[in-house]
């Protein structure tokens, strides 16, 4: 099952996107609909609301009068917390129940207006944000819902900012223009990303190798990595010692392959094996085979190798390498040191960039990164030595790495 979080500000046209995804076959779970369902007449939820806030929250037919409830429940923090304590567990339990009932190969779209505000993004394989220019949203709200312009702008201002939504968004859909434009974007998203993503997670499909194409530094790499790391941390739970963005995409200004290297540090590799399925289910599929780093002293005997586990991101649009290393070995520290050394030394970044471009040109016809990576490792190994000298001179420790 692929879990997709769908959100967007009021008036952005989120329902248009939700309906189109449902047409393609997505299972739509609407948080607002569930919130209404759990307090329908005759439910325990409505009875508890009446007990907490009085019969004045009911209309003449005995149904919930939402404006009356809002007037009583949002007047102070204590009342708001009481409301949340009644509503949130019921909404959560009903959502879990609905998700558990879907087919194993389903693409579930969870429509949640306050997904960003609630910090829920790591729960999903992907987060889709529908947005539109504020003036467009105001016009829609005044025309379709009869709001005044002042009320519409106040409602918009009370929600998450565009910056907050962008930080959570794996996919940003601008619905300011023609409806046909956003529908075409949704169609492409479904066919090219969601369907193959679901299959890769469910079937544990191996990732296809890519040529060593070097890209200029992308300012969005850190935000992409942080979204992925949040999912890794959630899947790893208490077995995570730390999770970090490492490798070239973690160094500002450094050209790199458009692949995010992430590192999950665990206490032991037994812990890594214990969370392998959880990471795979979260979209970071465990790669088969024997994975290790070579020691810097050149040792290659099995007992000398720095063993690890390796997972790859199943999202076809965002390439991720997840290295799972034990805190008992040296490799996790070395990865952080190398990153921080590069960040602190622009001349080394320039030299490394030149090496990358030269080797990428030399191996552009190989079809894979294997030979490129083998030749590049000589520069990296020499860099490790210089990085250790830098660490001794500056007093760097892993506690400084962030």
Residue ranges of the binding site: 11-16
Residues 245 and 222: beta-carbon distance below 8 Å? yes
Residues 282 and 222: beta-carbon distance below 8 Å? no
Residues 6 and 110: beta-carbon distance below 8 Å? yes
What stretches of 319-369 show up as alpha helix (H) in DSSP? 331-344, 346-362
User: Which CA distances in Å does 32 have to 44, 94, 106?
Assistant: 18, 12, 21
d(CA 136, CA 361): 47
d(CA 269, CA 262): 17
- Structure-token match 């990303």, residue found: 193
367 Ramachandran zone, left/alpha/beta (phi>0; psi -120 to 50): left
| Other CB atoms within 10 Å distance of the CB of residue 69 | 21
User: What SS3 state is found at 292?
Assistant: strand
| Other CB atoms within 10 Å distance of the CB of residue 293 | 17
d(CA 252, CA 345): 11
> What residue numbers does the annotated binding site for ATP cover?
11-16
CB neighbour list of residue 21: distance below 8 Å, 6 or more residues apart? 4, 6, 28, 107, 109, 186, 190
């Amino acid at each position: 099952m692929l879990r997709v979080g769908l959100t967007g500000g009021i008036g952005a046209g989120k329902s248009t996107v939700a309906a189109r995804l449902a047409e393609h076959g997505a299972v739509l779970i609407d948080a607002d609909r569930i919130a209404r369902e759990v307090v329908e007449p005759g439910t325990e939820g409505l009875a508890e609301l009446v007990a907490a806030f009085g019969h004045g929250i009911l209309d003449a037919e005995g149904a919930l009068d939402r404006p009356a409830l809002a007037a009583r429940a949002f007047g102070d923090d204590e009342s708001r917390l009481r409301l949340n304590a009644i509503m949130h567990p019921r909404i959560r339990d009903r959502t879990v129940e609905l998700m558990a009932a879907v087919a194993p190969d389903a693409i579930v779209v969870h429509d949640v207006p306050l997904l960003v505000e609630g910090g829920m993004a790591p729960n999903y394989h992907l987060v889709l944000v529908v947005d539109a220019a504020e003036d467009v949203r105001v016009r829609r709200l005044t025309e379709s819902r009869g709001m005044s312009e002042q009320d519409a702008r106040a409602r918009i201002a009370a929600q998450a900012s565009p910056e907050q939504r962008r930080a959570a968004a794996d996919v940003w859909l601008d619905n300011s223009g023609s409806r046909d434009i956003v529908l075409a974007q949704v169609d492409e998203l479904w066919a090219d990303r969601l369907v193959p993503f679901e299959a890769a997670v469910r079937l544990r499909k191996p990732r296809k190798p890519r040529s060593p194409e070097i890209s200029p530094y992308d300012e969005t790499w850190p935000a992409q990595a942080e979204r992925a790391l949040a999912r890794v941390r959630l899947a790893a739970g208490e077995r995570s010692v730390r999770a970090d963005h490492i490798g070239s995409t973690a160094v500002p200004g450094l050209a790199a392959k458009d692949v995010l290297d992430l590192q999950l540090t665990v206490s032991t590799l037994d812990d890594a094996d214990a969370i392998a399925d959880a990471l795979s289910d979260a979209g970071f599929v465990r790669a088969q085979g024997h994975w290790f780093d070579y020691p810097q002293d050149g040792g290659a005997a099995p007992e000398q190798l720095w063993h690890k586990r390796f997972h790859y991101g199943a999202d076809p649009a965002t390439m991720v390498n997840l290295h799972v290393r034990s805190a008992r070995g040296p490799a996790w520290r070395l990865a952080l040191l190398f990153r921080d050394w590069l960040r602190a030394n622009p001349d080394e970044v320039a030299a490394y960039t030149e090496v990358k471009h030269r080797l990428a040109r030399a191996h552009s016809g190989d079809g894979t990164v294997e030979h490129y990576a083998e030749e590049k490792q000589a520069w990296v190994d020499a860099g490790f030595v210089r990085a250790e000298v830098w660490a001794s001179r500056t007093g760097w420790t892993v506690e400084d790495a962030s």
